[in-house]
């Protein structure tokens, strides 16, 4: 039978370290958004994120177990609404958990007392909710937004029908090929980016919100990745940051989060207002993309990581991952940071609803691999999309030295003099994530 716990008792349990504290609010609230007027944004230090809306998922208990919340552990649940915490407590009870508490003092006591420890995602403002976006569209203003121009983009890969069948009102259609070359898959030249961004009405001072459709491609689709729009949005976000756009944001959960909130889509296309000048040099952050030569220097450094954000089958050389890449294997000396099942999925970096995975889980998985913020960390994959999503996760955490090796496996494998590795026992790689 679950029971209530006081602020003092909860603080003591956290110090003892044997209690699982579970935050049942939305991912946005957990990350740092002050949604109900709490004095401080974020979550109770050491709390895990388990939004109450996930309770309807058939694999809910598997999600719980994946977070290391064991049946023998005492569990404390908290959120904004006591009824919600108590409802999730009953679900834990039905799943065989027996030592359950609920805490109702988060807003009134915990967030109001600066002596009680909290944590938040350092750049939480760059990961926005559908309700935040709706407010911005309808009023031109929203929390953590300086009134000014904003551009909303629906990302897709050479698939305008993905936009035409339904998009968020006011969103522009953004083909990823606008920002990256269709022949090399690398970011376009500064001159090409200047033209492309001007056509979209994007300047250095714009707030740009990106999203895409969260479904993934079928094997028989003519253009691999054409449906993986939200992954494409991550790729575009990286390129915009590289170009020098100062305020780049992602709709957490992509188009699916907008639909899940019950908001309407439109088929009415939006027209961009062309910008006269970007307002600064392009690239504004050249260090975010590294070349083949720089990737080799990173491999030779004792204080840097070249990180493979690919699937296990790609990393071990069973598949190349793409029908246009022949050579199979991995870059010798790279660190394997498993993306998920294949070249078009990022399950290990996302929650079941396609929101960004709890950042503590991502950073802990990286830490076990030696991927830590004190080093320069350059991510790569096949052609830059998955690497961009991993990069964005680290950037949200405020890590100081980050980059993407833009050429990735596509470029590396095309040079016959570049060595490769294959096999199941490459270094000490692990695909447990």
Rounded mean pLDDT of 340-366? 95
pLDDT-derived band at 430, boundaries 50, 70, 90:
low
Tell me, what DSSP letter sits at residue 61? H
Give the pair of three-digit tokens for residue 223: 């253009």
Cα distance between residue 107 and residue 109, in whole Å: 6
Phi, psi (5° rounding) for residue 307? -115, 125
| CATH number assigned to the domain covering 287-414 | 3.40.250.10
Give the pair of three-digit tokens for residue 344: 């078009």
Segment 101-126, tens digit of pLDDT: 999 999 999 999 999 999 999 999 99
Q: For residue 426, what pLDDT is reported?
A: 54
Return residue ranges of the chain for CATH 3.40.250.10: 3-120, 125-284, 287-414
Rounded mean pLDDT of 1-29? 95
DSSP string, 301-329: -TTEEEEE-S-HHHHTTS--SSTT----S
In CATH, the architecture of 125-284 is: 3-Layer(aba) Sandwich (3.40)
Opening angle at CA 228, ends 223 and 233, nearest 5: 120
**120 SS3 class:** coil
- Would you say 377 and 346 are in contact if contact means Cβ atoms under 8 Å apart? no
Q: If you classify domain 3-120 with CATH, what class do you get? A: alpha beta
**111 SS3 class:** coil
Look up the pTM and report it.
0.95
Active site annotation includes 236? no
Checking if the pLDDT of 147 tops 90, the result is: no
- Would you say 200 and 246 are in contact if contact means Cβ atoms under 8 Å apart? no
Cα distance between residue 267 and residue 164, in whole Å: 6
Rounded mean pLDDT of 305-322? 95
Segment 158-202, tens digit of pLDDT: 999 999 999 999 999 999 999 999 888 899 999 999 999 999 999
Opening angle at CA 433, ends 216 and 407, nearest 5: 60
- Helices (DSSP H) in 336-430: which residue ranges? 359-368, 385-396, 408-414
Give the pair of three-digit tokens for residue 320: 């190349």
């Amino acid at each position: 039978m679950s029971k209530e716990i006081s602020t003092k008792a909860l603080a003591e349990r956290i110090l003892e370290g044997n209690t699982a504290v579970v935050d049942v609010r939305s991912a946005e609230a957990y990350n740092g958004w002050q949604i109900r007027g709490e004095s401080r944004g974020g979550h109770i230090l050491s709390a895990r994120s388990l939004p109450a809306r996930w309770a309807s998922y058939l694999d809910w208990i598997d999600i719980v177990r994946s977070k290391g919340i064991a049946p023998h552990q005492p569990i404390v649940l908290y959120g904004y609404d006591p009824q919600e915490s108590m409802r999730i407590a009953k679900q834990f009870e039905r799943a065989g958990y027996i030592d359950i508490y609920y805490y109702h003092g988060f807003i009134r006591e915990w967030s109001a007392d600066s002596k009680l420890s909290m944590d938040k995602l350092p750049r939480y403002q760059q990961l926005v909710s559908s309700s935040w976006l709706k407010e911005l569209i309808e009023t031109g203003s929203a929390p953590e937004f300086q009134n000014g121009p904003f551009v909303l983009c629906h990302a897709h890969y050479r698939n305008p029908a993905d936009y035409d069948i339904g998009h968020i009102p006011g969103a522009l259609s953004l083909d990823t090929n606008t920002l990256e070359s269709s022949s090399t898959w690398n970011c376009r030249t500064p001159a090409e980016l200047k033209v492309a961004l001007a056509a979209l009405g994007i300047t250095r001072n714009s707030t740009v919100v990106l999203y895409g459709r969260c479904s993934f491609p079928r094997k028989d689709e003519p253009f691999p990745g054409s449906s993986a729009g939200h992954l494409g949005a991550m790729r575009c976000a990286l390129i915009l940051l590289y170009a020098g756009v100062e305020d780049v944001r992602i709709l957490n959960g992509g188009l699916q989060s907008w639909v899940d909130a019950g908001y309407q889509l439109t088929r009415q296309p939006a027209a961009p207002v062309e910008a006269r000048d970007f307002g600064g040099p392009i690239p504004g952050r050249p260090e975010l993309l590294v070349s083949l030569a720089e990737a080799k220097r990173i491999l030779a450094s004792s204080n840097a990581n070249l990180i493979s954000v690919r699937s296990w089958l790609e990393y071990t050389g069973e598949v190349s991952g793409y029908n246009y890449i022949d050579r199979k294997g991995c870059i010798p000396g790279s660190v394997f940071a498993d993306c998920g099942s294949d070249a078009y999925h990022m399950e290990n970096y996302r929650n079941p609803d396609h929101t960004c995975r709890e950042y503590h889980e991502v950073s802990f998985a990286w830490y076990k691999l030696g991927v830590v913020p004190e080093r320069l960390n350059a991510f790569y994959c096949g052609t830059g999309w998955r690497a961009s999503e991993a990069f964005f996760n680290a950037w949200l955490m405020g890590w100081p030295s980050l980059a993407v090796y833009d050429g990735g496996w596509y470029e590396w494998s095309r040079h016959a003099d570049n060595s490769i590795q294959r096999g199941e026992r490459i270094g000490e790689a692990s695909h447990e994530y």
